């Protein structure tokens, strides 16, 4: 029973309060054992002198044995782990040890009173009263423990006085009971105070944890909002620049085409014009990626069988990976179609394939999995509830640390050497997924590889015939 709590306490709170009470008892136990042993030894010496027999020393041996047992119990508790200290056996053991210690003093009356003069009887009674008072200080935190000592130490002496059949004996017995009742009441009040204090401490600790969690959540939300605002500004700026640049390239492409037609195929300037035209086409591909990041590209979403789509570009993926990287493709047998722009999805998969290849410079393996899924604990939080098709691409490469993973979707951020990567690959994939009504989720561990999950909305209607893979635009790296 735990005093000081209104209503039935929750199991967890009850366990914490009980553990705190028992811990307080064991924390005070070395002092209690030392006082118990010293007082018992002094009492035995005095009683032996008064009685003239060695029986008090026999009683002392019993006290020492019980004290030794409680010392072993204290050592076991001290060495126990925090989880082991929550075991319900400890309150029972503490109460049992206190009961035996009290009986040693209480049964000392029936054993020693017959051989003691009145002075010795009064001396033993006063010592027992003092031991009961001291026990309130060391054991009142756990009510069963202190009550076990008070009752077992006092009741035998009180009964002994009542059995004398004299007015003095009855008065002494009544005094013992009143004194013990007062001590028990004080122990109850102290126990209630400790229980309330412990409960308030637990509530304060939990409130602090909730506050810390709310602060961390707010900071994370503010950071995500700042990141979203930054990306929105960058996206607007990128989209505007891409549109203006595209207008300029349209003029350049048109003029280059007209120039090639006018000078003829045999002119010495044709190779130069072709080189300029190819550069303009590469600029167009870059614009396409910028628009994908800015989520302003024009998509043509249709029901697509992703198993057929991935099978159609499998050869291209294998050539991209090279001979030192193995490829495995797995798909749900009842995979649902996804509503997506097939050409842009091919480009996104190739981008992720190139990133995986670059992370496995020493060789490795790449696994592409296609499966149906629903929103839940493992889905990106920004997704709307519903059914999705997940394209999961896992590699055995170098992986990313937490700092790199946090910046993976930042535009123009790359860990590759200057001139090798544009830093638009993952932002383009994220922009494509968001524009398609899906999302991207990355799981990575430094030295443990990376998994990129592309969540795409399922289509309600059957898939159309998968188009031939397009290579009009080279993937971004």
What is the span of the domain harbouring residue 250?
229-294
User: Domain for residue 204, yes or no?
Assistant: yes
DSSP state of 458: B
Classify the phi-psi angles of 253: left when phi > 0, otherwise alpha if psi is within -120 to 50, otherwise beta: alpha
336 contacts 389 by C-beta, under 8 angstroms: yes
User: Domain for residue 112, yes or no?
Assistant: yes
Q: How far apart are CA 57 and CA 108, in angstroms?
A: 11
Predicted structure pTM score: 0.48
Q: Are residue 264 and residue 399 in the same domain, yes or no?
A: no
User: Domain for residue 476, yes or no?
Assistant: no
User: Domain for residue 205, yes or no?
Assistant: yes
What pLDDT digit, counting tens, does each position of 324-354 carry? Answer: 999 999 999 999 999 998 888 888 898 889 8
Q: How confident is the model at residue 4 (pLDDT cuts 50, 70, 90)?
A: very low
Q: Are residue 187 and residue 48 in the same domain, yes or no?
A: yes
Residue 140 has what pLDDT? 86
Q: Are residue 92 and residue 162 in the same domain, yes or no?
A: yes
Q: How far apart are CA 169 and CA 178, in angstroms?
A: 14
Q: How confident is the model at residue 424 (pLDDT cuts 50, 70, 90)?
A: low
For 64-68, 262-266, 329-333, 463-467, which range has the lowest pLDDT when averaged over its residues?
463-467
Q: Are residue 434 and residue 324 in the same domain, yes or no?
A: yes
Q: Are residue 157 and residue 306 in the same domain, yes or no?
A: no
Q: How many domains does the chain have?
A: 3
Long-range CB contacts for residues 439-446, cutoff 8 Å, separation at least 24: 439/379, 439/380, 439/382, 439/383, 440/380, 440/409, 441/379, 441/380, 442/400, 442/405, 442/408, 444/399, 444/400, 444/405, 445/399, 445/400, 446/398, 446/399, 446/400, 446/401
User: Domain for residue 169, yes or no?
Assistant: yes
Q: Are residue 338 and residue 398 in the same domain, yes or no?
A: yes
Last residue of a domain, one of 277, 294, 311: 294
We report the CATH number of the domain holding residue 282 as 1.10.287.130
Q: Are residue 62 and residue 190 in the same domain, yes or no?
A: yes
Q: Are residue 125 and residue 184 in the same domain, yes or no?
A: yes
pLDDT average, residue stretch 219-231? 69
User: Domain for residue 280, yes or no?
Assistant: yes
User: Domain for residue 18, yes or no?
Assistant: yes
Helices 143-162, 167-263: inter-axial angle, 10-degree rounding? 170
Q: Are residue 127 and residue 246 in the same domain, yes or no?
A: no
| Longest Cα separation, the chain | 141
User: Domain for residue 118, yes or no?
Assistant: yes
Residue 419 has what pLDDT? 46
More confident of the two residues 300 and 246: 300
What pLDDT digit, counting tens, does each position of 200-221 carry? Answer: 888 888 889 889 988 888 887 7
Q: Which of 343, 302, 369, 339 is nearest to 458 (CA)?
A: 339
Q: Are residue 147 and residue 182 in the same domain, yes or no?
A: yes
Q: Is the model's pLDDT at 5 over the cut of 50?
A: no
We report the CATH number of the domain holding residue 412 as 3.30.565.10
Q: How far is CA 416 from the centre of its chain?
A: 34
* Average pLDDT of every residue of the chain: 82
Q: Are residue 144 and residue 200 in the same domain, yes or no?
A: yes
Q: How far apart are CA 67 and CA 32, in angstroms?
A: 9
Q: Are residue 289 and residue 329 in the same domain, yes or no?
A: no
Q: How far is CA 135 from CA 32, 35, 63, 188, 208, in A?
A: 7, 10, 15, 13, 35
């Amino acid at each position: 029973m735990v005093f000081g709590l209104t209503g039935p306490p929750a199991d967890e709170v009850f366990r914490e309060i009980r553990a705190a009470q028992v811990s307080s008892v064991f924390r005070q136990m070395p002092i209690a054992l030392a006082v118990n042993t010293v007082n018992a030894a002094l009492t035995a010496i005095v009683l032996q002198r008064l009685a003239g027999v060695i029986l008090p020393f026999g009683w002392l041996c019993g006290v020492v044995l019980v004290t030794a047992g409680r010392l072993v119990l204290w050592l076991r508790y001290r060495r126990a782990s925090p989880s082991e200290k929550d075991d319900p056996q400890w309150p029972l053991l503490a109460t049992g040890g206190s009961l035996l210690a009290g009986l040693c003093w209480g049964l000392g009356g029936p054993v020693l009173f017959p051989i003691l003069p009145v002075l010795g009887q009064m001396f033993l009674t006063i010592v027992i009263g003092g031991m009961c008072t001291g026990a309130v200080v060391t054991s009142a935190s756990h009510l069963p423990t202190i009550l076990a000592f008070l009752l077992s130490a006092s009741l035998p002496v009180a009964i002994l006085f009542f059995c004398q059949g004299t007015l003095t004996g009855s008065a002494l017995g009544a005094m013992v009971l009143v004194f013990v009742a007062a001590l028990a009441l004080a122990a109850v009040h102290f126990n209630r105070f400790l229980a309330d204090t412990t409960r308030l401490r637990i509530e304060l600790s939990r409130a602090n944890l909730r506050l810390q969690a709310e602060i961390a959540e707010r900071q994370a939300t503010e950071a995500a909002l700042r990141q979203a605002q930054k990306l929105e500004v960058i996206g607007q700026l990128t989209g505007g620049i891409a549109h203006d640049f595209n207008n300029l390239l349209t003029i350049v492409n048109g003029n280059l085409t007209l120039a090639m037609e006018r000078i003829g195929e045999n002119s010495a300037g044709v190779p130069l014009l072709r080189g300029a035209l190819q550069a303009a086409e590469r600029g167009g591909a870059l614009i396409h990626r910028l628009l994908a990041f800015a989520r302003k590209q024009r998509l043509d979403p249709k029901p697509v069988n992703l198993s057929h789509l991935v099978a159609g570009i499998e050869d291209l993926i294998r050539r991209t990976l090279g001979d030192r990287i193995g490829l495995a493709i797995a798909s749900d047998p009842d995979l649902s179609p996804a509503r997506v722009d097939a050409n842009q999805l091919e480009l996104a998969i190739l981008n992720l394939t190139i990133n995986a290849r670059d992370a496995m410079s020493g060789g490795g393996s790449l696994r592409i999995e296609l499966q149906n899924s629903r929103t839940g604990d493992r889905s990106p939080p920004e997704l709307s509830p519903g059914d999705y098709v997940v394209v999961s691409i896992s590699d055995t490469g170098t992986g990313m640390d937490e700092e790199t993973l946090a910046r993976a979707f930042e535009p123009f951020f790359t860990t590759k050497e200057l001139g090798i990567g544009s830093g638009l690959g993952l932002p383009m994939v994220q922009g494509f997924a968001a524009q398609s009504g899906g999302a991207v989720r990355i799981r990575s561990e430094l030295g443990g590889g990376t998994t990129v999950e592309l969540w795409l909305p399922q289509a309600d209607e059957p898939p159309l015939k998968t188009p031939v893979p397009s290579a009009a635009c080279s993937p971004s790296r």
